[in-house]
Amino acid sequence: MASRGTGMSFSRKSYRLTSDAEKSRVTGIVHEKLLNDYLHHIFSSPGHAPPAATSRKPLNFQNLPEHLDQLLQVDSEGEESQGQVEGRLGPSTVVLDHTGGFEGLLLVDDDLLGVIGHSNFGTIRSTTCVYKGKWVYEVLISSQGLMQIGWCTINCRFNQEEGVGDTHNSYAYDGNRVRKWNVTTTNYGKAWAAGDIVSCLIDLDDGTLSFCLNGVSLGTAFENLSRGLGMAYFPAISLSFKESVAFNFGSRPLRYPVTGYRPLQDPPCADLVQAQRLLGCFRAVLSVELDPVEGRLVEKESSKWQLQGQPTVLLTLAHIFHHFAPLLRKVYLVEAVLMSFLLGIVEKGTPAQAQSVVHQVLDLLWLFMEDYEIQDCLKQLMMSLLRLYRFSPIVPDLGLQIHYLRLTIAILRHEKSRKFLLSNVLFDVLRSVVFFYIKSPLRVEEAGLQELIPTTWWPHCSSREGKERKEVKEETAEERLRRRAYERGCHRLKKHIEVVEELQVQILKLLLDNKDDNGGEASRYIFLTKFRKFLQENASGRGNMPMLCPPEYMVCFLHRLISALRYYWDEYKASNPRASFSEEAYIPPQIFYNGKVDYFDLQRLGGLLSHLRKTLKDDLASKANIVIDPLELQAATMDDLDEDEEPAPTAAQRPMQALAMGGALPLPRPGWLSSPTLGRANRFLSTAAVSLMTPRRPLSTSEKVKVRTLSVEQRTREDIEGSHWNEGLLLGRPPEEPEQPLTENSLLEVLDGAVMMYNLSVHQQLGKMVGVSDDVSEYAMALRDTEDKIRRCPKQRKDILAELTKSQKVFSEKLDHLSRRLAWVHATVYSQEKMLDIYWLLRVCLRTIEHGDRTGYEETLTRLAAILAKHFADMRIVGTDIRDSLMQALASYVCYPHSLRAVERIPEEQRIAMVRNLLAPYEQRPWAQTNWILVRLWRGCGFGYRYTRLPHLLKTKPEDANLPSLQKPCPSTLLQQHMADLLRQGPDVAPSFLNSVLNQLNWAFSEFIGMIQEIQQAAERLERNFVDSRQLKVCATCFDLSVSLLRVLEMTITLVPEIFLDWTRPTSEMLLRRLAQLLNQVLNRVTAERNLFDRVVTLRLPGLESVDHYPILVAVTGILVQLLVHGPVSETERATSVLLADPCFQLRSICYLLGQPEPPAPGTSLPAPDRKRFSLQSYKDYISAEELAQVEQMLAHLTSASAQAAAASLPTSEEDLCPICYAHPISAVFQPCGHKSCKACINQHLMNNKDCFFCKATIMSVEDWEKAANTSNTSSAA
């Protein structure tokens, strides 16, 4: 069907013909009788039977306008005039009062019906109030946070703390907290969710106020409202920061009208009647055809009707649209008339039939309506469609969503409509990403999930840890039947959801069509322009208000986009054998720097693109065949050059780094998709897909390409796809890249945008959704524990049994709800197909980095491990958030056996370089993350270091179902050996590394002690007070850091003991003395009876669960055992002498490890440990008999050596003690200043400073000093 402007450029007025008899033959007008029958059939009076042919007035095109005017005449008798209506005051068009009826900072939409909170608790009311009658308005909930919706009077005064419902004569419903408010508050209603519709009803005849949620009444909320002179109520809302809603006062048809209540804004009744009558005429045209040969009318189905250019039909339609077109610009009429008509077509016919009719209708709209009319009509039509889709209730078969998506597809299949909507509406006016989202039901019973999944199930795996798990509880026959029934229900749900997802993919396939370039730009290139702007807005608005696309929408959009992208990618491969399959996709490196794609201000590994182009412009010219336009370099600001001085993003602004890809979901899926490694790695890779260029062969000057970044709007199809003499997006191809393109260049840009989408917010949302699985696990453990208690409860304690039974019921109901929600989350977010999408994106990123740097699943893990090992300490990476992402990705990699093996499979040279970077002094980078990596390489090898749940918690609270869980140990002996080899090499590696470890240990433990002092003081105050949860978290973190640093020292001493015990090394004695000093400090602080540490541990404060004697004492014990038990006698004696020489040493602290208050007498056996005391002997499930024997041997050795040292020690005068530590005798003199101290103090000082303690002179050398020798020399001189 040709549309206006492409062959049939009519205007409505051009169809008015004269009555000349010959004109009919010239123009093809049918004879008078057939024309009369046809026009009477089309324009019959509504509600009346058609008159007999003999009695009706003849109709032709001359008297048709008069007849049509009579047909459209609306009887206004009894209708109230538009404007002032009894019971209502204010403008007839009701909107939000953005001029004076608000409090706080709010963002109001252009139509003055949508509002977003931009302050603590902003309030706004409408422009119209009511004082008599029954009234209703609707609120479309866009976010489910803190809001109070209702009514208020003009005298209500609000502020940032008090909103609607917090003052007299204001009333509100709060679905976030499920309460109603009028100064005081009580429970009321149900919880609302994003996508719900709240109806607010006020009956000023009876003085009552009530609310409905999605058309279901919540009951009367308030009675006895104040009425009378001066009392009128305004619709009003108070909402907190970032919350958003949209009001419908009646400008659109109410979604859930209530009998007896009228909307605040009157519908356009006269226009509505006219539009419905004209629609009837239009439908009559589509249901009948003229047969000039037979001279009769032929009834036909609308799907088979065709406009064949008959002048009679064209003139008839022109008369209809002369009146109909202006009405179709109005929002209310589009939704009430046109939308209902089109939805009826979709619901009644097959997709092919519906598509045919909708296509015909759109052709006619474009033909008979002016451009501005059809554009307004399509805009309102799509807005209504999106609103209906977003705020439709979830039903078991998702039938409502399917109908709306089918109509959307039918509209978008119309080429001219699709291009207009893409260019002007979908990404400009609408949040069109909503079409790709399937909202999650908050109330599973209303969503019909009970029908789809009648039987619920949850995993019953045990979470307890004992000495060893001898047997795994087998699944009973009943549990097996429940699980299989649950899986069948999940499968049914997934099939329903897949229907919706397939329709959503079809929408994107239409938007990505690049073959519809007849008479204009193809849809795909319009989409690329809008898509890039969409990414830019979300990237620049990250962390700011308003967030343009919520993360849950972005997740669904990403999966649908990947499906459509891979479809077109493989379709291109089918017709171009030299291209690549989508399985081999990557983004060529030149796209990142040739200026064809605008990356706005996104951070690269080496900084902003403008900064990189300035600092690397010579490299681009000589190695990458690229010359940057000098005008672009001049346009960059100096801020780009000072990038390193910019403050690092705060924790609130920084994206979440860790990502768990699914957690413990009940449905089976490949184990390799459950690894958090992929999530962490992909978070890094999505940011890291940039050009880390290595040298390429230099090219001649004539081959160099001059580029300048083009804005999105400036680009043409040729700039993207290229031509015979232009490579488009692939301009400046490096010689290593293949000449044959991978696929169409436009698809490469879509792929690049998909990676960016994942980085912007998808990874965050995937991590959040795992919370549902975690909730199921926690409630399942709680239910299991409750059932155990019921079995153990004595029958005579009926009170306890009743409470336990009540708890059991609550947990069971909650698990029923959560298991159904989990099935929904699994089908929409964590299905195997969607995890494979993320895995595919990961491999795209890997191949992209490899092509930029030139450096099955196992292979993928190994390739990623090589990238992480090479670049986690790359000094060219200047962004702190990217550097942290790299470090955390590597930490996750060494935490899991399969990914750790991948690290061990990378080339040896890269492994050694990685370990060397890990051993660099901690002061040069984030040391805590580096230390975690080293600890994970050791975990499973240390003394009592094989647990997966903290032993002290299992010992003190075995019934607790929420104990923190640790990853199973998976040490790497290969990487440990690399570490040992590196520490033995060179004189500076080991001292610098260990000095930084000891410094950080001293800091971390000192901070921890200071914090528990504050916590203890707060707990002892008489007045009631609360310890800040953040302080508790920092305290626990310092404790965990101290334990991990001690474990790194244990690993170092075990692997390379000579660093501390071989005193031929210049720094060994100093390191050993520092280590002994710190170990004694830790032991004394932790083991003192009823001391600070002991009291804080006994408080069992939430957040300090990890703080206990066991973790830190077993770490110290492991170091002492390595020093004093293992190794040659000479080295153990040396270590013993240093330990005993430290003034802080107390033998009682060593006895504490075995639960003894004092050392045992020589020759006596150790008594049984006191149950009330800490003792390593109480943890035999975690400490082996061999390890306990080594501790007893160490205690016996220290007891004997301590007695001998006490007998042989001579009193030392205070003058001979080191003036710095007052613990050791003076043994060194500084040159040239001559000041003295012990060797330990001066050696430790010289590690960080070369100035003298006392006079600040530069120390050139340190010499031994002995008092006796100096005294004799002085006497001889005399």
Model pLDDT for residues 1150-1174, shown as the tens digit of each residue? 888 888 766 655 555 555 555 567 8
pLDDT tens-digit map of 396-417: 778 889 999 999 999 999 999 9
Q: Are 1245 and 1233 in contact (CB under 8 A)?
A: no
- The per-residue pLDDT for 1258 is 84
- The per-residue pLDDT for 685 is 40
Does residue 653 surpass a pLDDT of 50? no
DSSP conformational letter for 80: P
Q: Give the residue, 643 or 190, on which the prediction is more confident.
A: 190
- Rounded distance between C-alpha atoms, residue 1237 and residue 1221, angstroms: 9
H-helix segments, 391-425 = 399-412, 415-424
Highest-scoring range by mean pLDDT, 286-295, 569-578, 652-661:
569-578
Tokens standing for residue 643:
């990038």
Q: Are 945 and 939 in contact (CB under 8 A)?
A: yes
- Rounded distance between C-alpha atoms, residue 657 and residue 568, angstroms: 32
pLDDT band at 246 (very low <50, low <70, confident <90, very high): very high
Peptide bond into 1232 cis (omega under 30): yes
pLDDT band at 932 (very low <50, low <70, confident <90, very high): confident
Q: What angle do CA 899, 903, 904 make, to 5 degrees?
A: 115
Q: Are 675 and 837 in contact (CB under 8 A)?
A: no
Name the least confident of 224-228, 770-774, 855-859, 885-889.
855-859
> Could you tell me how far CA 1049 lies from the centroid of its own chain?
37
DSSP3 helix / strand / coil % (the chain, rounded to 5): 50, 10, 40
The single-letter code of the amino acid at 1196 is A
| Mean pLDDT across 114-131 | 90
pLDDT band at 686 (very low <50, low <70, confident <90, very high): very low
pLDDT band at 488 (very low <50, low <70, confident <90, very high): very high
Sign of CA dihedral 741, 746, 749, 750: negative
- Beta-strand relationship, 88-89 and 114-117: unpaired
Q: Give the residue, 719 or 627, on which the prediction is more confident.
A: 719
Name the least confident of 874-883, 929-938, 1175-1184.
874-883
- Rounded distance between C-alpha atoms, residue 1252 and residue 1250, angstroms: 7
Does residue 431 surpass a pLDDT of 50? yes
Does residue 466 surpass a pLDDT of 50? no
Q: Give the residue, 663 or 724, on which the prediction is more confident.
A: 724
pLDDT tens-digit map of 979-1002: 999 998 877 888 888 888 998 899
pLDDT tens-digit map of 93-113: 999 988 877 887 888 888 889
Does residue 476 surpass a pLDDT of 90? no
- The per-residue pLDDT for 853 is 67
- Rounded distance between C-alpha atoms, residue 334 and residue 273, angstroms: 13
- How many residues appear in the chain? 1278
DSSP conformational letter for 97: -
pLDDT band at 748 (very low <50, low <70, confident <90, very high): very high
Peptide bond into 441 cis (omega under 30): no
The single-letter code of the amino acid at 866 is A
Q: Are 211 and 199 in contact (CB under 8 A)?
A: yes
Using alpha carbons, select from 177, 118, 109 the residue that is nearest to residue 149.
177
- Rounded distance between C-alpha atoms, residue 837 and residue 558, angstroms: 9
- Rounded distance between C-alpha atoms, residue 819 and residue 493, angstroms: 13
pTM as predicted? 0.74
Using alpha carbons, select from 437, 419, 380 the residue that is nearest to residue 560.
437
pLDDT tens-digit map of 291-321: 777 778 888 777 777 777 678 888 999 999 9
- Rounded distance between C-alpha atoms, residue 908 and residue 916, angstroms: 12
* DSSP string over 868-887: HHHHTT-TT---HHHHHHHH
Q: Alpha-carbon dihedral of residues 1008, 1009, 1011, 1012, nearest 10 degrees?
A: 110
DSSP conformational letter for 673: G
Does residue 39 surpass a pLDDT of 80? yes
Q: Are 1144 and 1150 in contact (CB under 8 A)?
A: no
- Beta-strand relationship, 705-707 and 626-628: parallel
- The per-residue pLDDT for 1244 is 67
In three-state form (DSSP H/G/I as H, E/B as E, the rest C), the secondary structure along 377-388 is: HHHHHHHHHHHH
Name the least confident of 382-386, 886-890, 1113-1117.
886-890
pLDDT band at 222 (very low <50, low <70, confident <90, very high): very high
* DSSP string over 137-170: EEEEESS-SSEEEEEE-TT----SS--TTSSTTE
- Rounded distance between C-alpha atoms, residue 732 and residue 361, angstroms: 48
The single-letter code of the amino acid at 1183 is I
Longest dimension (CA), the chain: 155
Q: How far is CA 951 from CA 28, 466, 956, 1267, in A?
A: 95, 9, 9, 52
- Rounded distance between C-alpha atoms, residue 821 and residue 103, angstroms: 38
Q: How many CB atoms lie within 10 A of CB 518?
A: 8
Q: Give the relative orientation of helices 371-390 and 399-412 as an angle to the nearest 10 degrees.
A: 160
- Rounded distance between C-alpha atoms, residue 798 and residue 793, angstroms: 9
- The per-residue pLDDT for 292 is 75
pLDDT band at 31 (very low <50, low <70, confident <90, very high): confident
Q: Is 180 helix (H, G, I), strand (E, B) or coil?
A: strand
- The per-residue pLDDT for 940 is 86
- The per-residue pLDDT for 690 is 34
Tokens standing for residue 28:
């093809």
Q: Are 176 and 191 in contact (CB under 8 A)?
A: yes
| Mean pLDDT across 1061-1087 | 87
Does residue 439 surpass a pLDDT of 70? yes
Q: Alpha-carbon dihedral of residues 496, 502, 504, 510, nearest 10 degrees?
A: -160
Q: Are 658 and 676 in contact (CB under 8 A)?
A: yes
DSSP strands (E only) in 713-814: none
pLDDT band at 1 (very low <50, low <70, confident <90, very high): very low
- Own/partner pairs for 1129-1133, CB < 8 Å, 24+ apart? 1131/1057, 1131/1061, 1131/1062, 1132/1197
- The per-residue pLDDT for 655 is 34
Tokens standing for residue 178:
């499920």
Tokens standing for residue 1053:
């001493």
- The per-residue pLDDT for 1063 is 81
- Rounded distance between C-alpha atoms, residue 329 and residue 318, angstroms: 17
In the chain, % of residues over pLDDT 90? 27
pLDDT band at 447 (very low <50, low <70, confident <90, very high): low
Q: Give the residue, 217 or 710, on which the prediction is more confident.
A: 217
Does residue 1068 surpass a pLDDT of 80? yes
pLDDT tens-digit map of 502-552: 999 999 999 999 888 777 788 999 999 899 888 888 887 654 445 568 888
- Rounded distance between C-alpha atoms, residue 870 and residue 1044, angstroms: 24
Name the least confident of 515-519, 605-609, 1069-1073.
605-609
Average pLDDT, the chain: 79
Look-up: residue for tokens 């005298």?
155
| Mean pLDDT across 1064-1089 | 86
Mention every residue, 6+ apart, whose C-beta is less than 8 A from residue 1158.
1148, 1151
Q: What are phi and psi of 954, to 5 degrees?
A: -65, -30
| Mean pLDDT across 127-145 | 92
Give Rg (Cα) of the chain. Answer: 39
Using alpha carbons, select from 552, 558, 769, 768 the residue that is nearest to residue 656.
768
- The per-residue pLDDT for 8 is 37
DSSP conformational letter for 648: P
- Rounded distance between C-alpha atoms, residue 74 and residue 275, angstroms: 11
- Beta-strand relationship, 134-141 and 262-263: parallel
Q: What angle do CA 480, 482, 483 make, to 5 degrees?
A: 65
Q: Give the residue, 327 or 727, on which the prediction is more confident.
A: 327
| Mean pLDDT across 965-988 | 84
In the chain, % of residues over pLDDT 70? 79
Q: How many CB atoms lie within 10 A of CB 500?
A: 18
Using alpha carbons, select from 920, 847, 929 the residue that is nearest to residue 883.
929
pLDDT band at 959 (very low <50, low <70, confident <90, very high): very low
- Rounded distance between C-alpha atoms, residue 211 and residue 201, angstroms: 6
Q: Give the residue, 545 or 820, on which the prediction is more confident.
A: 820
Q: Are 188 and 137 in contact (CB under 8 A)?
A: no
Range 699-714 burial, b when 16+ CB lie within 10 A, else e: beeeebbebebeebee
| Mean pLDDT across 22-27 | 40
